[in-house]
Structures are given as structure tokens and as C-alpha cells.
Amino acid sequence: MRGIIFCTNDFLPGCSRPTRVAGLRREITEQPGARIAIDLERQVVTAPSGTVHHFGIDPFRKQCLLQGVAEIELTPVTATRSRHSSDGRPAN
């Protein structure tokens, strides 16, 4: 069910087509215990029926997910850098 949440929040843009989401939702509802497989490296979602749906994702987001890094974790690094001038000294 988690994959459906990402799809409906447009996290996986290629998966956000309403008919595709409705089809996936129908399959998991009609088949108790059914599973959806998401292969981020190959950028595919496999429905319980075996149907494979390809999706696109921003390369940066994909790398963050594959490496287990949340975008928010990168914020302190950026904030620290912005407080310093190009030569590394604190900016005024």
C-alpha cells in the first residue's frame, strides 16, 4: 500500500496516472495479501498480476533513496556552506 501513497502524492511521476493507480489499488484490494514490488534501480513497479509499469524519477531523488539519505539531511550542510565565503571564512 505504501507504493500507492507515493503514486498518489506524485512521488513517482510516471506512476501517477489515475487509471494506473486505480488498477493497482483494485488488484491489491481484490487479492488479500497481494504485494506490489517497486524496483527503484530499474524504475519499475510490478503489480500483483505481474504487469510491469515503468516510472520516471529525478536522478537526485533516486540517488538519495538508493543511498538512504533524506533530502532534509542535506540542509545543514548547505546552510553551513552559505554562512561562509568562497575561501572558507565566515561571511559577514
Q: Which pLDDT belongs to residue 7? A: 47
The residue among 87 and 36 whose pLDDT is bigger is 36
Alpha helix ranges (H) inside the chain: 2-8, 18-30, 59-67, 75-82
pTM of the model: 0.58
65-87 burial: b if 16+ Cβ within 10 Å, else e = eeeeeeeeeeeeeeeeeeeeeee
Each residue of 29-80: pLDDT tens digit? 999 899 999 999 999 999 999 999 888 888 988 888 888 887 677 776 545 5
Listed range (11-15, 31-35, 84-88) with the worst mean pLDDT: 11-15
